Structures are given as C-alpha cells and as structure tokens.
Structure 1
Amino acid sequence: MDTTTRAMPAFLPDGSVEVPGFTLPVSDLVSAQAAAMQRLRAEMPAFDAAGEDGDIAARRAQINAYMAPQIERLRAAFPVSIVRSVIGGVEVLDVTPAEGGHDPHRVLINLHGGAFCVGWDGVALVEAIPIASLGRIRVISVNYRMAPEHRHPAGVEDVAAVYRALLEDYAPGRIGIYGGSAGGALTAQAAAWLVAHDLPQVGAIGVFGAGGVPFGTGESAYVTGYTDASFPPPPADGSAPVDITYGYFAGCDARDPSAWPGWHPDILAHFPPALIITGTRAMDLSPAIFTHSQLLKAGVRSSLIVGEGMGHCYHYQLDLPEGRDAVEAIVRFFRENLT
C-alpha cells in the first residue's frame, strides 16, 4: 500500500476530527467463535436497538421473543429454579441453582437491561440464569418501574425497596447489585441512592454495558455507531438523538447525582468495590472508562474489563469464549468481595 496517498483524518479548529472512510477488519485478538460471528453479520438482519416504534407493549413483546431462544439454551446449560415473587412490594424473579446447594448467606440483586423501558423478563432471565448457576448463589431480579409509564427515580426507588427488605435476612456486605445496559446504569444509581438515603452500602456492584454518566457521552457513541451499528451515532447536525428510553429521564438534569453519579467524586467515594465491563465496539465504552477512572480517583477499588472486538453487553453471549470469560469474572468478583 502506498501510504503517501492514503486518506488522512482532518483535524478541525474546534477540535473535531473528520475521519475518512475505512474498513475495520476482524481483530486477530478475538476468539475463532467471535470472528465467525463477525463474519455472519454480513448475512444477519440488523436488530433495531433504538426501537423508535411508539407501541411499547409491542416493543416489549418483540424483545422477549428475541431473547426466548437464548433463554431456552441457557436453561438447558444452567439448570435453575425460577420463582416469581414479591419482595418489598416489588415483583421479582427469585433464581437459584436447580439442584440446591447455593450460598445461604449471600445474595445478588439483578437489574435487567432494556433502555429503561423494556427487558422484563426476557433480558432479566438472560442476566440471572448463568450467574445463579455458576455462582451457586441466589439472584433476585427486579421488575423495576420503567418508561413510558414512569420516570426516574421510580426504578431506583424499587431497587431500594427490595434491598431494604433483603436487609432483614442478609448483612449489607453480603448483598451485591449488578446489571447490564440500563441495569448497569441503574446499579450505579442504586449505589448512590443508598448513600443519599442513609441505607448501608452494599458489598459490591457490577456495572456492565454502562457507566455512571449518560449513554451517548464521550467518543464511543460516535465511533461504534459505525463500527458496530447496534445503536445509531449521535446526529451529525447536533440535534437531539432519538430517546430510546421513552422519556424515562424527561425533566432530569444530565448531571443529577441521583441519575448520573459518575460526575460527582464526593458520591463515588462512598461506592463499594466495582466491576465494570465493556467492549471496544460498545457504545458504552467511554462512559465505562470514565466511571472507572473517576472511581479510582475517589479511592474506590474498581476493576475494568474491556473485551477486544466486543459489542454492547457481550457477557450475554455465553456461546463465545469472551462472554463466558466475562461471566466467570463476574462470579469471581462477587465471591471475593461479598464478605
């Protein structure tokens, strides 16, 4: 290749960069399975993660139908008992290993993904089943209130209600909270909410596919809008992006500490040990990196895993070695940090 004639980025006076068109090859650092999946995307229909359809009931049904085959595979590979229940006045799924023998002294609260408007209970089961089985631990997945029926802080209020009820049976240091995507952001919100409302802090949190600042902040939303395309990049004309949360944060300031604690070092200083997982092709890469850095600056023990060539919430994909590695890291993290 003649490097003297290749297209070069143009650096503009305002600091922006005009990036020339280029072809991004499959990374030679990913597993053979992940490389094969990347090649298959040429033949796969795109999944509309933005979900601009205004019919939320149809959207929720679509997501659950999309997740159903994966849940069937997970239940075959990871036998669990699933009981629908109510804890603290909130509907939950109580997930435990099918053959019993789970840790009676520790529990995890799972907050499902789904852009604060969908994901119950399809995404919830994808997140809870393997963790409960591999971790030999009880997982309580929370049906927190979502948009368009509700607004922030409805979801975190429900998480706090479940947590308060679980404190009757578990020490706070033996309770963990984790979630992916919206559930990852909600996990960070919950850690901040507990501090603000004089509740004891949990033992550890897992923020996956998210951070403590809004989705769309930082560079990764722009870059991965073209390298992954699961989520559209921010509009080039500077107009407001499509609100995939169906207005969940309507009226909420973008730096509200109850919604986005990553901006507030004084709040982060009270966080428990955190595990943050993202990918190089994930739109949440920048929020995750920023949150990790801010936690370290605040003196909090934080661990960051960035999956090479991986997209948003790749830990859902247990058929990939990278996804299985991420789930096993999650299990180890909570085993080591729930005292």
Structure 2
Amino acid sequence: MEEQKVAKPQFEANGDVRVPAFVLPVSPLLSEQAAAFQRMRATMPAFDAAGEGLDVIARREQINTFMAPQIERLRGMFPVNIDRTEIGGVEVLDVTPADGSHDPDRVLINLHGGAFTVGWDGVALVESIPLAVLAGYRVVSVNYRMAPEHKHPAGVEDVAAVYAELLKTNAPGRIGVYGGSAGGALTAQVAAWLPAHGLPQAGAVGIFGAGGVPFHAGESAWTAGYIDGSFPPPPADGSELEDITRGYFESVDERNDPSAWPGYHLETLATFPPTLIITGTRAMDLSPAIFTNSQLLKAGVRSTLIVGESMGHCYHYQVALPEGRDAVDQIIAFFRENLN
C-alpha cells in the first residue's frame, strides 16, 4: 500500500507561510452542545458580517432583527427590568434583575459590540441581560456615538460622561466596565482615557472579543477568516483592508495614539485596573487579545486571559452552550473579586 504523502507548509524567505488546504476536525475537547453547533453550521444560512451594500440605518435595523429572537430567549431565561433613560446626558439602558435583588453598591457599565457602527440596542441587551441576573448587578449599557456620523474619540467621551455621573453615587473601585467586540476595544480605550483625563480609574475592566490593538493586527485575522469564516481574512493580494468601522478611526495614528490603541503603550497600560480578556482559538481577535494580555503583564497589571477551545468571536454571548456559560461565570467571578 502506497504511503500517503501529507502536504506541508512552505516557508518563504520573507517569513510568509503558504498553508496547504486541510480539513480541521471538530475538537474532541468541546462539549456535546458546542460540537453539535459546529456540525449545524453546515446547514445555517450565511450572515453578511460586513453588511455589504446596506446603508448604516438599514444595517442597524438588520442587526437588531437578527438579535431579536435571542433577546426574547434571554428575557425568558433571565427576567429583568429595563429602563431606557439618560445618564450624564447620554442615552443608556439601565438593566436590573426583575426581582430587585441586585447589589446596591456596585454597577457594571456595558459597551456593546458592533464594529463602532451598529449594535444599539440589540447587541447591548444580549450583553447585559444575562450578567444583570446571574451576577446580581445593575448593568448600565451606553448608547455611545458611532460611525459614520461620528469618529474617535466620540464613543469614549460618551462613556466617560456616564462614568463621571455614576461617580456621584458610586465609588470608582466598585464600578466595572466591560464590552464585547467593538465594545471590548472601547473598554480598553476607556481604561486608558479615565486617568489621562483626571478621572479615577474603574475597579476592573473586561475586554471580550477584542484587545487594545486593532482587530486586523496579528495573524488571527487570517486564520479565523479561513477557519471560522465569520469575518473575511485580509485581502490576499495585499490590497487595502475593508474598514468595517466606516471611518470611525479615520484620523487616528494607529501606532501612536494611546487613546485609541493603548496596547502599544506600556506607560498607558500601567494605569489599567485588573483586566479580564476573553477570546477563542477560532476568533479573529485572538492575536489582539494575546498581545494585549502580554503587554499588560509586562506593564505590571494583573491581567487574566481566557481562550475558549474552538470558540469564535464573542462566544460568551452563547450562554446556552457550556463554554459560553463558563465564560460568563468567570466574568462574574472576576468582577465580584475586584469590585470592592
């Protein structure tokens, strides 16, 4: 019987790697539910992650429609009160357990995902409802300004305004900030912004599905593009990467502006509070998360990195999967330990 030859990667002189086509099997380390979800993806319709061809208003409506069934399920699982109001002149959703049992002395600020262009309020509710009930916390989700109408630092300014108002009734060490995807990146920006603008640092921050550097930084944008497929890989021909933020960081000097990407600046990271970072092995944000965690440790900050096996972008949204629930449980434990 002729021995089957296995294709091997080819290493170019400039360090590039030509990766042969291969089949990635379902990980044996997954829960039965997550493995079933991976198999089910073969029959799921593709979702346009970039919203190609849609104007931003239509895209926002599309995202909220897509999230609506999940929000309905979550509200059935986790009964909450949702108060749409303003704090510091910024629209927020004030989410608390329906039974009124939340901790009166601690509050979480949620920053929703959505590529700095969409996500209010569908993604905001998916991120806020489970934590409010499972943690027993008040969660204030912020409708920060987004592109294409606004540019950085509009979003972080809005979060700082809400934070400053909450400081009137809450100790800074008992306020936590967290977000997923764009909201995770914005959380890193908030941690950099507060002490740089005369505000006391928050008690702890959670950067989920993101890092303190751009999403395209590092090799995970490539691997996730071909393995997970939720977001396309960078163009193979070296052409300019599509800007899914619709110009939100248009005027930012990527490497030299710590208010936008603090992961490149150790002196800025040194001002961070305890930080929890969550990503997955199939997530486009894996490289930014790993790099940011390493930089925080180098800066002397207590940082914890959780990487979900075979998990994709913001897998903590999937609280019905054991892996997603495990991530949420660790988020709760982290804030309970550090908001004191």
Name the structure 1 match of 2:276: 275
Determine if contact 1:53/1:59 at 8 Å carries over to the other structure. no
Determine if contact 1:52/1:244 at 8 Å carries over to the other structure. no
| Aligned-partner Cα distance in 2 for 1:146–1:210 | 17
1:4 CA displacement: 6.3
| Aligned-partner Cα distance in 2 for 1:3–1:318 | 45
Deviations 1:30-68 (A, max 9, x none): 110110011011111111112222411110000000000
Name the structure 2 match of 1:44: 44
| Aligned-partner Cα distance in 1 for 2:247–2:52 | 12
Name the structure 2 match of 1:242: 242
Deviations 1:55-93 (A, max 9, x none): 111100000000000000000000110000100000000
1:149 CA displacement: 0.4
How large is the Cα RMSD of the aligned pairs?
1.0
What is the percentage of aligned positions where both structures have the same residue? 74
Name the structure 1 match of 2:155: 155
Deviations 1:92-136 (A, max 9, x none): 000000001211110000000000000000000000000000010
Amino acid at match of 1:316: Y
Q: Equivalent residue of 2:263, what SS?
A: helix
Amino acid at match of 1:283: M
| Aligned-partner Cα distance in 1 for 2:194–2:26 | 42
Name the structure 1 match of 2:204: 204
Name the structure 2 match of 1:82: 82
1:1-339 paired onto structure 2 within 5 Å: 5-255=5-255, 256-339=257-340
Indicate how the Cα distance of structure 1 residues 2 and 28 shifts in structure 2: closer, same or farther if over 3 A, else same.
farther
Q: Equivalent residue of 1:41, what SS?
A: helix
Which 4+ stretches in 1 moved above 3 angstroms? 1-4
| Aligned-partner Cα distance in 1 for 2:204–2:96 | 20
Q: Equivalent residue of 2:43, what SS?
A: coil
Runs of at least 5 residues in structure 1 that lack an aligned partner in the other structure: none
Runs of at least 5 residues in structure 2 that lack an aligned partner in the other structure: none
Tell me the TM-score normalized by structure 2: 0.98
Q: Equivalent residue of 2:325, what SS?
A: helix
Q: Equivalent residue of 2:276, what SS?
A: strand
| Aligned-partner Cα distance in 1 for 2:157–2:237 | 36
| Aligned-partner Cα distance in 1 for 2:3–2:319 | 40
Q: Count residues in correspondence.
A: 339
